[in-house]
A = this chain, B = another copy of it.
Amino acid sequence: MASTEVTDDFYKRIETSDELSAKKRAILDFCQKYSDRKIALVTSGGTTVPLEKNTVRFIDNFSAGTRGAISAEYFLSHGYKVIFLHRHKSLAPFTRHLTGFGFLDCLKVEADGRISVIDNVAPTLRPVLDEYNKVKERDDLLRVSFISLSDYLWLLREAVQILNGHRSKALIYLAAAVSDFYVPDEFLALHKLQSSEGAPDLKLELVPKILAPLVKQWAPEAFTISFKLETDPTILKEKCRRALNTYRHGLVVGNILQTRRNVVYIVTADEDYAIETTDVEINDGVEIERKLVADLGHRKRLSSSFQRIDF
């Protein structure tokens, strides 16, 4: 079977969510409203793989959604409209700045009964709030959430196929940490696995590589960026290069779990190089995503198929 047939067959085996059509509608409306604008689809956070139909246990992928949430802000600052396809409750653009805060610890009751933000937090919060309100007022950002692997895969296909109408004005930034494995519906236990029956022997199956139909069929003119996360530095570059040779999309961003805040590797058809932030920069609050998103703009302009588009 060709890879696209494998994928069609796979989609028949995973459940759709009741909320799919409403979310698809929201994406369609957003893309139609901004039919002449450049749009970035940013995926973010991990997917779950349920181990029971009435799900108590699931396999998850480590991801707070940091890369995707930060990158979405920088795409917005570069003039993109952004569809933020993210794991429910993972980090989100703007609100992510508040996760270190104990919200209740930042509030005080004033003499007149109003509740206000305490003085030593307000200066940090103010620019975030202003930027958030600007984005909200201009309707620059559409937030769409998923939880499970199948939620994600259905939403991704719908979103990418809709974005195909934007041709080379679409950028697809696949930062989500998507499971490579799943338990097909027909093997799922209905109820919670019982410990009295001993430890289960979990039969996982490989998820087909969605990048193949995404690049070839769903949105062939979009500039697509995929990610590779590894923990073993010795295999990273080779795996990035192999992915690019296989799918022939825009470029691959490689990163190592332990150093992902400090360095990413860019692998394009012609070259590969690292983008880094120094410890001094990190102390000064420089985020590697700022450099990464700026570099992607440069790459997109260089890419001959996309010369019509300004980043």
Contact = CB atoms under 8 A, between A and B. Distances in A.
Interface of A: 48, 51-52, 54-62, 94-95, 98, 102-105, 107, 109-110, 114-117, 122, 125-126, 128-130, 132-133, 136, 177, 179-181, 190-193, 195, 198-206, 229-232, 257-258
Contact of A129 (B107, B191, B200, B229): B107
B115 A54 contact: no
A257 B103 contact: no
A156 B56 CA distance: 22
A205 B199 contact: yes
Nearest to A205: B199
Nearest to A102: B95
A157 to B, nearest CB: 20
A129 B94 CA distance: 23
B126 A117 contact: no
A5 B107 CA distance: 50
Given A115-B116, A129-B107, A61 B56 contact: yes
User: Which of A115, A128, A181, A198 is packed against the most chain B CB atoms within 10 Å?
Assistant: A115
Contacts of A205: 199
Nearest to A119: B114
